[in-house]
Amino acid sequence: MPARRSPRQPTPWRAGAVPEPAAPVLPRRVATLSVHTSPLEQPGAGDAGGMNVYVVEVSRRLADRGIAVDVFTRATSSEQPPVVEMSPGVTVRHVSAGPFEGLGKQELPAQMCAFTAAVLREEAQHEPGHFDVVHSHYWLSGQVGWLARDRWGVPLVHSAHTLAKVKNAALAEGDEPEPRTRVIGEEQVVAEADRLVANTAEEARQLVDFYDADPRRTLVVPPGVDLDCFRPGDRQAARARVGVAPDAVVLLFVGRIQPLKAPEMLLHAAARMLATDPALRDRLEVLVVGAPSGSGLAEPQRLQELAVSLGVADVVRFVPPQAPAQLADHYRAADVAVVPSHNESFGLVALEAQACGTPVVAAAVGGLPTAVDDGVSGLLVTGRDPEGYAAAIRRVLARRELLAAGARRHAAAFSWDRTTDSLVDAYAAAMSEMGRRRVRPAHRAAEAVRLLTGGNSVGGRARR
Q: What residues are designated binding site for UDP-N-acetyl-alpha-D-glucosamine? A: 42-43, 50, 256, 261, 322, 344, 352
Any long-range contacts for 445-451 (C-beta under 8 Å, 24+ apart)?
A: none
Assess if residue 425 is contained within a domain: no
Please state the residue numbers annotated as binding site for 1D-myo-inositol 3-phosphate.
36, 47-52, 105, 138, 162, 182
70 lies in the same domain as 216: yes
Show which of 220, 246, 280 is a domain's final residue.
Answer: 220
One domain for residues 267 and 195: no
pLDDT values of the chain reduced to their tens digit, one per residue, 464 residues:
444 334 433 333 333 444 444 567 899 999 999 998 888 888 776 677 889 999 999 999 999 999 999 999 998 888 889 999 999 999 999 998 877 776 777 778 878 899 999 999 999 999 999 999 999 999 999 999 999 999 999 999 999 999 999 999 888 777 789 999 999 999 999 999 999 999 999 999 999 999 999 999 999 999 999 999 999 999 999 999 999 999 999 999 999 998 989 999 999 999 999 999 999 999 999 999 999 876 555 567 899 999 999 999 999 999 999 999 999 999 999 999 999 999 998 999 999 999 999 999 999 999 999 999 999 999 999 999 999 999 999 999 999 999 999 999 999 999 999 999 999 999 999 999 998 776 555 445 455 445 444 554 434 433 33
Asked if residue 264 belongs to a domain, the reply is: yes
d(CA 28, CA 48): 28
* Cα-only R_g, the chain: 25
Q: Is residue 19, in this structure, part of any structural domain at all?
A: no
- Calculate ∠ Cα 403-362-51, nearest 5°: 110
Residues at the binding site are 36, 42-43, 47-52, 105, 138, 162, 182, 256, 261, 322, 331-332, 334, 344, 352, 358
The answer to whether residue 462 is domain-embedded is no
In a domain, 78, yes or no: yes
CB count in 10 Å sphere of residue 89 = 17
SS (H, E, C) 250-266: EEEEECCECHHHCCHHH
CA-wise closest residue to 225 among 337, 333, 354, 135: 354
pLDDT at 308: 97
Same domain, 269 and 143: no
pTM > 0.95: yes or no = no
Is the domain of 181 the same as that of 315? no
Instruction: In whole angstroms, give the CA distance from residue 254 to residue 265.
Output: 13
CB within 8 Å of 214: residues ≥ 6 apart: 8
What backbone torsions phi and psi does residue 198 show, to the nearest 5 degrees?
-105, 145
Element (H, E) at 50: helix 50-64
Same domain flag for 86 and 189: yes
**Please, are residues 334 and 252 in contact by the beta-carbon 8 Å criterion?**
yes
Contacts of 464 (CB under 8 A, 6+ apart): none
Tally of domains within the chain: 2
Let me know if residue 435 belongs to a domain.
no
Same domain, 118 and 210: yes
Q: Are residues 253 and 282 in the same domain?
A: yes
Domain identity same for 272 and 191: no
8 A C-beta contact, residue 306 and residue 225: no
Domain limits for position 302 = 235-413
CA distance 181 to 184: 5
If 0-12 CB within 10 Å is exposed, 13-18 middle and 19+ buried, where does residue 121 land?
exposed
Same domain? 178 vs 239:
no
Q: Is residue 450 part of a domain?
A: no
Q: List residues forming the annotated binding site for Mg(2+).
A: 331-332, 334, 358
Residues 273 and 154 in one domain: no
Same domain for 171 and 293? no
Last residue of a domain, one of 220, 243, 265: 220
Decide if 287 is inside a domain: yes
What CATH number is given to the structural domain containing 123? 3.40.50.2000
C-alpha angle 104-108-113 in degrees, rounded to nearest 5: 160
Domain boundary among 188, 220, 252: 220
The pLDDT of residue 452:
47
Residues 286 and 182 in one domain: no
